[in-house]
Amino acid sequence: MSTDEKRRCIEPSHPELSVQRQCELIGLNRSSWYYQASPAQESTENLNLMRLIDEQYTRTPFYGSRRITAWLNTQGYLVNRKRIQRLMGLMGIQDVGPKPGTSQRNKEHKVYPYLLRGVEIVRPNQVWSTDITYCPMPQGFMYLVAIIDWYSRYVVSWELSNTLDADFCIHALNRALEQAQPDIFNTDQGCQFTSHDFLAPLQEREIQISMDGKGRALDNIFVERLWRSVKYEWLYTHEFQTVPELHAGLDEYFEFYNTERLHQSLEYKTPQAIHFV
C-alpha cells in the first residue's frame, strides 16, 4: 500500500482509535499524515480576529478574555466576550478563569502541584517545560507544541497538528525522551498534558511532574518567551501557504534558534553551546 493510500485510511474522528494508533497499525509515519493535512478552518472574519488575539496575547500573556475583548473593542471590533472566549478556546489559549472550549482541563485527570517556585535552575536537563501555541496561516491555522530546557533555552523537540488532541504532544514528548530526560517536567493544566498517555512516559522514568497554577501563564515564562521569538522573528514575517511549507519553515527557524541565535540571558551564547557543555 502506498503512502497516499495509507493516508486515506486514517479516520480523524474514529470513535476508538487515535490518529497516532491508526498510523502505528498501518505503518504510516504520523508526521506524514499531519503535514499533508489541511490547516484547521474558520471564517475569514474569525481568522482575522484570531490573528489579532494571537498578536495581543503574545504581547500580554496575562490578558484573559475580558481584557482581550475590551482591547478589540478599542481597535474598532465590536465583538462580545462570549465570541472571544470561543475563539481563545479554539486557539488553545488559557483564560484567567477556567479554560474555555477544547483546552479545558479534564476534571477526571490528576493535577500536580507547581514545583518550581523559588527553585534555582543550575544545569541542563534539570527542568523541561512544554506548551502549545497557535500558528496563523493565510487560509487557516495549526497548533505548535514545543519542549524547552529551562537552563539552556534549547528546544528539545516540537510538533505540529491541526487538532488539539494529545497525540502530537505525546509524540513530541517521546522524541524528546529519546535524547535525554529531565529531573522535572513542567506543563500547564490543559487536558493534553494531564492525560494518562502523556504522563505515563514521565511516570515510568520517575520524572517529577510540575503543573502551572490555573490562570498563571507566567509560571511557564521560558516557553512564553520562546513563543514571542518564534512569532515576531518568523511566523509574523512569513506567510506559509501550506502545512508542509509551515513545517519546513519552523524546522529552519528552530535550527537557527538552537545553533545560531545568540541569547543575551546566556551571555550571548547559543542554546546548543550551553546545553551540550
Residue 175 in this model has a pLDDT that exceeds 80: yes
Q: How far apart are CA 236 and CA 58, in angstroms?
A: 11
15 class by beta-carbon count within 10 Å (0-12 exposed, 13-18 middle, 19+ buried): exposed
Q: Which domains does the chain have, with CATH numbers?
A: 3-34 (no CATH), 127-275 (3.30.420.10)
Supply angle C-alpha 265, 62, 125, rounded to 5. Answer: 40
Q: How many CB atoms lie within 10 A of CB 267?
A: 9
pLDDT tens-digit series, residues 112-167: 999 999 999 999 999 999 999 999 998 899 999 999 999 999 999 999 999 888 99
Segment 225-241 shows an average pLDDT of 94
Beta strands in the chain (DSSP E): 127-137, 140-149, 155-161, 184-187, 208-211
pLDDT at 113: 94
Residue 97 in this model has a pLDDT that exceeds 60: no
pLDDT at 103: 46
Segment 180-185 shows an average pLDDT of 98
> What's the sign of the alpha-carbon dihedral 121, 124, 126, 129?
positive
Q: Which comes out higher in pLDDT, residue 52 or 3?
A: 52
Q: Are 40 and 162 in contact (CB under 8 A)?
A: yes
Residue 130, strand partner residues: 147
Name the pLDDT band for 3 (thresholds 50, 70, 90): low
Q: How far apart are CA 47 and CA 3, in angstroms?
A: 32
Instruction: Note the pTM of the prediction, 2 decimals.
Output: 0.82
